[in-house]
Amino acid sequence: MTIALLNILHLLKSVSPVAVYFIVAFLVFGEAALFIGFVLPAEASVITAGVIAKTGHVRIVPLVIIVIASAIVGDSTGYFVGERYGDRLLQLKPIHKRRALIDKTIVELQRRGMLYVFLGRFTAFLRAVTPGLAGISKMHYRRFLIANALGGIVWGGLACGLGYALGNVVEKYFSRFGYAILAIVVVAAIAHHVINKRRESRAQSGQ
């Protein structure tokens, strides 16, 4: 996974601005709609794109808009996939092996609804599965959409903003340390993803 993320880092810096927008949009959309989030958390690419925006390669405002729109549309797609193909979805290997956590998430969705959808946006695994599980649990789509949109706006703005803020350092020292700083950002995102997975595993083993 580290190699894949570092490849994305290099790719985003070397391709055209339009391609950067497209790649980030695809990864954010696909995290829940295509379950890419099981392999590659979208926040790493979003933060990296935010850093690149500070260097002037892409513009921050279009980036934020694209990230937020992709998050909302991708999660809505995931919701409808879960609503229509719920039984098949639960048989997918990455989901099936975490069945205890999945069952707990469905219970929490039924209890807390919109709040859980909003908070799920900020955890890599939940960001990938919560939309589909909301569809499976028959949560009303309007309520899901409101929470999904709020989560997408806050998450998208924070992730892009974090990258853009880090870009101040990258821009200042780019000739010597820029790629090292970008690599640190990516590694930090990986570490966050791995820690969350370990917590999930411990939670499952304790049930």
Q: What is the pLDDT of residues 22-64, one digit of tens each?
A: 989 999 999 888 877 767 778 888 988 888 888 788 999 999 9
Number of domains in the chain: 1
Give the whole-angstrom CA distance, residue 179 versus residue 186.
10
Q: Which of 7-11, 53-57, 68-72 has the lowest mean pLDDT?
A: 7-11
Give the whole-angstrom CA distance, residue 36 versus residue 29.
9
Mean pLDDT of 115-125: 87
With 70 as the cut, is the pLDDT of residue 107 above it?
yes
Rounded to the nearest integer, the mean pLDDT of the chain is: 79
Confidence of residue 12 (pLDDT cuts 50, 70, 90): confident
Q: Are 76 and 192 in contact (CB under 8 A)?
A: no
Full residue range of the structural domain in which residue 180 is found: 2-205
What does DSSP assign to residue 37?
A: G
Say which residue, 71 or 125, is predicted with more confidence: 71
- Per-residue pLDDT at 186: 59
Mean pLDDT of 127-136: 88
Give the helix/strand (H/E) hosting 29: helix 17-33
Say which residue, 142 or 99, is predicted with more confidence: 142
The 3-state DSSP class for residue 58 equals: coil
pTM of this structure? 0.77
In a 10 Å sphere around its CB, with 0-12 CB exposed, 13-18 middle and 19+ buried, how is residue 167 labelled? Answer: buried
What are the residues whose beta carbons fall under 8 Å from the beta carbon of 114, sequence distance 6 or more?
143, 144, 146, 147
Mean pLDDT of 92-115: 78
Say which residue, 4 or 195, is predicted with more confidence: 195
Mean pLDDT of 64-88: 91
Mean pLDDT of 125-137: 86
- Per-residue pLDDT at 74: 94
- Per-residue pLDDT at 204: 47
Say which residue, 74 or 113, is predicted with more confidence: 74
Mean pLDDT of 93-103: 72
Mean pLDDT of 97-125: 82
Q: What is the pLDDT of residues 162-206, one digit of tens each?
A: 888 877 665 555 445 555 555 665 566 556 555 665 655 555 454
